[in-house]
Amino acid sequence: MNAPINPPKLYDCRDAFAATLERLAAENETIVAVCNDSVGSSKLGGFKSKFPDRLVNVGIAEQNMVGVGAGLANGGRLPFVCAAAPFLTGRSLEQIKADISYSNANVKLVGISSGMAYGELGPTHHSIEDFAWTRVLPNLPVIAPCDRIETAAAVAWAATYDGPCFLRLSRVGVPDLLPEGHKFELGKANLLRQGSQVTLIANGTLTHRILKAAEILAGRGIDARVLNLATVRPIDEEAIIAAAKETGAIVTAEEHSIFGGLGSAVAEVVVDNAPVPMKRLGVPGVYAPTGSAEFLLDEFGMAPSAIADAAESLIRRK
């Protein structure tokens, strides 16, 4: 099959995060950035140049970094704490629980290069447990934007939200999916495609893949609904229940373990309110091997064609 003549342009969501943070910091002098020797990977170079006295680099000491963020918040600052997602969450989970979630500190946690974005660096650098670790904590909204537009909107929302949150950002290029000027609304799904036979649900880097899967299904005569569920907690129960009742089958896809992540969150809503056949696509409870993020997603059955096949198979169970 020939590639599209004009494939969509791909964007790194970290760029949208950095540009938005710099704009907000120019308007709000309480905004500070805290990082773990990750100025480059967090795209904070511009912030450092413009606001050198408002960037705190604690070095490779993530537990201390989260504590510094909490202290800055207690002192009236608005900290965005940035680090590679596996180390921000896994290494600092106790501090996130006690200093951020339990204390309801006004700290914005930003997990960079989430999922399997660091694919070639192997399982130690894969962040495929972070949804499970963070969404269980009270007071902590968990958000995974699908494109640069939603990223910018979510960062702007976070700066006005009175409380902690976790933003999960990949470095893998994704196309624009939402319209310019989109306003982020916590806990609300985006309906990207209407459909009546099955619902495909994803967030982050998987959203554009399920849209492609819906196009493949349309070619097979199957009408698929597509939901971008950027907010994993609080989750949009109304949209999920409507999808279950109106389409009768749900497929979730995520750059995360199938245990405890987006699929689990959706399944909890479905089983309590409108049980229908479901299929959760993700990493099946193993450590992902070394390889590019694109290769690993395909390897674990999340190529658009594989997502379409899973949906078609699920429909037969209805």
Q: Reply yes or no: is the peptide bond before residue 234 cis, omega within 30 of 0.
A: yes
d(CA 105, CA 109): 11
Q: List the one residue out of 289, 229, 279, 277 whose CA is nearest residue 252.
A: 279
The answer to whether 157 and 186 have CB atoms below 8 angstroms apart is yes
H-only helix segments in the chain: 13-27, 45-50, 62-74, 85-89, 93-95, 130-135, 148-160, 207-219, 237-247, 262-273, 293-299, 304-315
Q: Catalytic site residues?
A: 62
Secondary structure, 3-state, 195-216 = CCCEEEEECHHHHHHHHHHHHH
- Phi, psi of 123, deg, nearest 5: -60, -30
d(CA 43, CA 98): 28
